[in-house]
């Protein structure tokens, strides 16, 4: 297979959790120490980590930067970090805490010119569009609200400005282990061949990974399937 598996850690109150369908009321704590989990991922051969500050996603700024800093400083993992990246100060703070690249969602919808300015300053290698989809529209503010934009709308706007990577999550599938939205990713790759489309949400087996690989998806974010032992390439 050519597809890259990116292990995920979601953080609430400094703990490693997973939500079901983006519902904060349906969360499960898998570890009190995200650093310990990250170290196990590293030991299993991972080189890139998907770290989301769920507290920050609901707020106006990151809340769990200390978790990011501890992982970035005590492992060799490159950390893509999201959650609360809604101001230039947040961008600076997250990079200072050790983020390899930042995932921006809400700000790309609500303040597109600001996001474009960040693309110009930091480049498409360090800023990723986070497009979390609910009922065909991008959801914002920790998946609590729908924007009026589709992922296609955002890609058409930001690719000319230097965007190179997007992480697309089907919220209805996230944490459910019922399979990813393969056809969605296949369609996006066909429509936008110049952007790296990373899949997220729904992976529950190696067969799901293989289906994404067959569709040409270059990388997939996997969380619950690793924690539940459905996928054993990365042991945690």
Active site residue 10: yes
Long-range contacts of residues 102-108, Cβ cutoff 8 Å, at least 24 apart: 102/126, 102/127, 102/128, 103/52, 103/128, 103/129, 103/130, 103/167, 104/128, 104/129, 104/130, 105/57, 105/129, 105/130, 105/131, 105/132, 105/138, 105/140, 106/57, 106/140, 106/141, 108/154, 108/158
Is 132 in the active site?
yes
Considering 10, 53, 170, 174, which one is annotated as catalytic? 10
Q: Which of 53, 55, 132, 170 is catalytic?
A: 132
Catalytic residues: 10, 132
């Amino acid at each position: 297979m050519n597809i890259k598996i990116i292990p995920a850690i979601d953080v609430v109150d400094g703990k490693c959790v997973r939500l079901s369908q983006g519902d904060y009321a349906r969360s499960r704590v898998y570890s009190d120490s995200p650093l310990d989990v990250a170290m196990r991922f590293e030991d299993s051969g991972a080189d890139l980590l998907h770290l989301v500050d769920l507290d920050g996603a609901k707020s106006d700024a990151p809340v769990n930067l200390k978790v990011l800093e501890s992982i970035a400083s005590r492992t060799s993992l490159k950390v893509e970090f999201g959650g609360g990246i809604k101001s230039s100060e947040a961008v600076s703070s997250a990079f200072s805490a050790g983020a390899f690249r930042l995932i921006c969602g809400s700000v790309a919808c609500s303040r597109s010119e600001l996001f474009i300015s960040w693309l110009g300053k930091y480049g498409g290698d360090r800023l990723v569009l986070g497009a979390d989809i609910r009922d065909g529209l991008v959801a914002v503010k920790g998946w609590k609200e729908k924007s009026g934009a589709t992922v296609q709308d955002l890609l058409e706007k930001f690719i000319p400005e230097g965007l190179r990577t997007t992480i697309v999550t089907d919220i209805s599938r996230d944490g459910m282990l019922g399979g990813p939205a393969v056809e969605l990713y296949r369609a996006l790759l066909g429509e936008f061949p110049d952007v790296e489309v990373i899949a997220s949400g729904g992976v529950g087996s190696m067969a799901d990974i293989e289906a994404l690989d067959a569709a040409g998806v270059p990388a997939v974010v996997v969380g619950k399937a690793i924690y539940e032992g459905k996928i054993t390439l990365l042991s945690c």
